[in-house]
Structure 1
């Protein structure tokens, strides 16, 4: 009997779920495979993570093993669940919060990753598997910073933010990172860009520390001060923490007027910006000589809501129309028709003079943006450039993508709360198309900055 028992145990399938690399940057793909399944077995794969506020995000997809009992998400199509078709990273970008209107948002980018738990179940069901015992499981670490990257808190003059420096001697191409009307300091995109070799200043401009709590005007001299600060940054000491990711906790960085070792490449910097930040980023491209490459993600090409001030110049905003606010069936507010048209003669004075931009501009547009008529604005800017004989603008259009186009594999945020509205704000987007847009646009952003910041330097 003992021999028979041993033989029976040896014949039991050895299920194995692997995800490689098990620890990687959040913008890197993961290769998920399953072996040891019965031939043609139907299974469910799930992913789950808990964010820093305790919100739980989950996803699931149904698969069928091949004739030898293996499953490779690089090749195998999902036939149901949260997506359909061949999507190797579908379990990541299809994550949805158990609570409505929540955005997956990384706050501590240096000291801890998101932990994504992958589980395998030998049944196909729409039920919640959270209380079931999986056949196999693996935890994947998704980091927002690479080993050797430094974070330096910036409190210099009026400028408030966090500077991320890549490992190595430099000098590095410099980039300012701007988010929109949520305010505060947003760091996850800046830290990822630093992992790709850029010195990035994640810049706050309201609702942070001693900055104004509410945005009431765009003071472009503040952003010029930040650009000059970034260009003047000296090389600092580097160290590596025990886990391989450094967190610099110095309360401030005080820069000498003539630093002996420049860590940020001159003569110009890039700007990456989204939403309200893209309006500001485009204004920086128009008026600041320091800006030589600008990425505008779903932004406007005119000044809205608040006036823009730069030295003796004041650009009045185009009016808003509260009666045009709409709600979709979920109760989220749509701002798509909320703003006045910059093509109207009375609003022409509020349109940014994009023809004055000396650097290159990349407009990234989600066609399913429910917040801004972002394609229309970008087309107007390109026409404005062309009518002045300029060819320094380019547009990437993504059908099905919403407003919040972020680094790859981040889940779609269709709507989320804002400070100003009692109801959630509608961002738009269809999950599969939005995920494809994020993956492709991120590669284009990296190429754009390398071309116009790094290659430009080599020609000097």
Structure 2
């Protein structure tokens, strides 16, 4: 299913050190106010208000500045208007983005550099530094907008919740089922055909509201290896978000024209039971890089896509942290730095959208029984908040047709620390 919700914007500009302000709007009702004045010194707080919205309407606030070295810094916050249609950052909490909670100056201190390892540089204190504040709200426009193919987990059909929420961020999303949905086969097929996914990518790229040149792929679990295969063998993919997936083909063989990638064979003897008596299949899938399994490893070094690998450290479905590390190592071995890796301590397998209830166990369609999925509820919740922000920023950054790819390898143990 194709989802689209575009955005219009209201822009206010704040000058620091020397004072000047301007306001541009294509909506007569929406107004951005900067109190006590849109002109201030850098160490003075700014009170940001937005008026003229619909009651309880959700909007995205974005901040941007460029330092004296030309490095761009950005931050964002998803907020909801109150009953009167007003957003007041002194009392309106951010529900997602670069920070969460009530932080009146969050759009400033939460800015991150687009160029890795960059510190904000200000040499000439007599010259102004300008911050752009944008308010994007849900008035539909014609685009074009970034396009994303959302491929959900095995047996889950499609995730219209995830797709529609992402569409609310100004992205055209095609939620694609590949089995177990409506009139599709209810059981796992004998193989998956990559040409089916190729047709979906072609269809999405041809939509007039989708900006080029490439699209993104959002995946989780089994669809993770399908996403890596798409990025490796198909054209037109610029950004691939892989969540708790595998770096090798799993479950059934993958066919593409004359190519067949076998599925990696599970080791049944490695299946154990949790203390509560539920199947634990985490170690059933063997190391893909060992002898006899390498033919199932997906050759992602072929891809020109950017990759976001997100893995939970307490994923009991399989060892997604190992698979993420191996995928990154393979790219690095081939001289590529087109990836980011983030790992979440105490989080389980199903990293969904924010505030989705934690699923510690459930029926596994390939196993045919209930299995443990892992994770602690609060840590899992925090991981979902952090990852949802990262996914949006990842697609915005790498699906901008005017953006040139940055070379950066980021290892993060989100949301509490950093790996070396």
The two structures have a TM-score, normalised by structure 1, of 0.58
Q: Equivalent residue for 2:271?
A: 325
Q: Equivalent residue for 2:418?
A: none
1:214 has 2:187 as partner: yes
For 1:174 and 1:73, locate their aligned partners in 2 and report how far apart those are by CA, in whole Å.
30
For 2:368 and 2:79, locate their aligned partners in 1 and report how far apart those are by CA, in whole Å.
37
Q: Do the aligned residues in 1 keep the contact of 2:247 with 2:323 (CA within 8 Å)?
A: yes
Q: Do the aligned residues in 2 keep the contact of 1:408 with 1:442 (CA within 8 Å)?
A: yes
Q: Equivalent residue for 1:291?
A: 237
How far 1:412 sits from its partner (Å)? Answer: 1.2
Q: Do the aligned residues in 2 keep the contact of 1:183 with 1:205 (CA within 8 Å)?
A: no
State how 1:228-307 maps to structure 2 within 5 Å: 228-233=202-207, 262-307=208-253
Q: Equivalent residue for 2:167?
A: 194
How far 1:185 sits from its partner (Å)? Answer: 2.6
State how 1:22-421 maps to structure 2 within 5 Å: 167-216=140-189, 217-233=191-207, 262-421=208-367
Q: Does the residue aligned with 2:292 lie in a helix, a strand or coil?
A: helix
Q: Do the aligned residues in 2 keep the contact of 1:30 with 1:88 (CA within 8 Å)?
A: no
For 1:330 and 1:264, locate their aligned partners in 2 and report how far apart those are by CA, in whole Å.
48
For 2:358 and 2:349, locate their aligned partners in 1 and report how far apart those are by CA, in whole Å.
10
Q: Does the residue aligned with 1:428 lie in a helix, a strand or coil?
A: coil
Q: Do the aligned residues in 2 keep the contact of 1:331 with 1:423 (CA within 8 Å)?
A: no
Structure-2 change in CA distance of 1:209 and 1:31 (3 Å): closer
Structure-2 change in CA distance of 1:435 and 1:28 (3 Å): farther
How far 1:426 sits from its partner (Å)? Answer: 1.4
How far 1:22 sits from its partner (Å)? Answer: 5.8
For 2:322 and 2:286, locate their aligned partners in 1 and report how far apart those are by CA, in whole Å.
13
How far 1:183 sits from its partner (Å)? Answer: 3.4
Deviant stretches of 4+, over 4 Å: 21-25, 27-32
Structure-2 change in CA distance of 1:329 and 1:422 (3 Å): farther
Deviations 1:177-198 (A, max 9, x none): 0111123232110000100010
For 2:403 and 2:393, locate their aligned partners in 1 and report how far apart those are by CA, in whole Å.
15
For 2:235 and 2:358, locate their aligned partners in 1 and report how far apart those are by CA, in whole Å.
35
For 2:293 and 2:369, locate their aligned partners in 1 and report how far apart those are by CA, in whole Å.
29
For 1:31 and 1:172, locate their aligned partners in 2 and report how far apart those are by CA, in whole Å.
25
The two structures have a TM-score, normalised by structure 2, of 0.63
Quote the RMSD (CA, aligned, Å): 2.7
Q: Do the aligned residues in 1 keep the contact of 2:251 with 2:366 (CA within 8 Å)?
A: no
State how 1:6-25 maps to structure 2 within 5 Å: none
Q: Equivalent residue for 2:396?
A: 450
Structure-2 change in CA distance of 1:399 and 1:350 (3 Å): same
Q: Do the aligned residues in 1 keep the contact of 2:151 with 2:158 (CA within 8 Å)?
A: no
Structure-2 change in CA distance of 1:459 and 1:298 (3 Å): closer
How far 1:286 sits from its partner (Å)? Answer: 0.9
Q: Do the aligned residues in 2 keep the contact of 1:331 with 1:424 (CA within 8 Å)?
A: no
For 1:194 and 1:328, locate their aligned partners in 2 and report how far apart those are by CA, in whole Å.
38
Structure-2 change in CA distance of 1:289 and 1:411 (3 Å): same
Which of 428, 437, 455 is the aligned partner of 2:383?
437
For 1:301 and 1:312, locate their aligned partners in 2 and report how far apart those are by CA, in whole Å.
21
Q: Do the aligned residues in 2 keep the contact of 1:332 with 1:423 (CA within 8 Å)?
A: no
For 2:185 and 2:362, locate their aligned partners in 1 and report how far apart those are by CA, in whole Å.
23
Q: Does the residue aligned with 2:388 lie in a helix, a strand or coil?
A: helix
For 2:309 and 2:248, locate their aligned partners in 1 and report how far apart those are by CA, in whole Å.
14
Deviations 1:97-137 (A, max 9, x none): xxxxxxxxxxxxxxxxxxxxxxxxxxxxxxxxxxxxxxxxx
Q: Do the aligned residues in 2 keep the contact of 1:31 with 1:88 (CA within 8 Å)?
A: no
For 2:378 and 2:180, locate their aligned partners in 1 and report how far apart those are by CA, in whole Å.
33
For 2:267 and 2:352, locate their aligned partners in 1 and report how far apart those are by CA, in whole Å.
29
Structure-2 change in CA distance of 1:356 and 1:422 (3 Å): closer
How far 1:172 sits from its partner (Å)? Answer: 1.2
How far 1:324 sits from its partner (Å)? Answer: 2.1
Q: Do the aligned residues in 2 keep the contact of 1:365 with 1:396 (CA within 8 Å)?
A: yes
For 2:395 and 2:168, locate their aligned partners in 1 and report how far apart those are by CA, in whole Å.
14
For 1:31 and 1:184, locate their aligned partners in 2 and report how far apart those are by CA, in whole Å.
34
Deviations 1:191-229 (A, max 9, x none): 001000100000000012333332321211100100000
Q: Equivalent residue for 2:39?
A: none
For 2:155 and 2:273, locate their aligned partners in 1 and report how far apart those are by CA, in whole Å.
20
How far 1:301 sits from its partner (Å)? Answer: 0.2
Q: Do the aligned residues in 1 keep the contact of 2:57 with 2:80 (CA within 8 Å)?
A: no
Deviations 1:365-385 (A, max 9, x none): 111111111110011111111
Q: Which moved more, 1:337-346 or 1:194-203?
A: 337-346
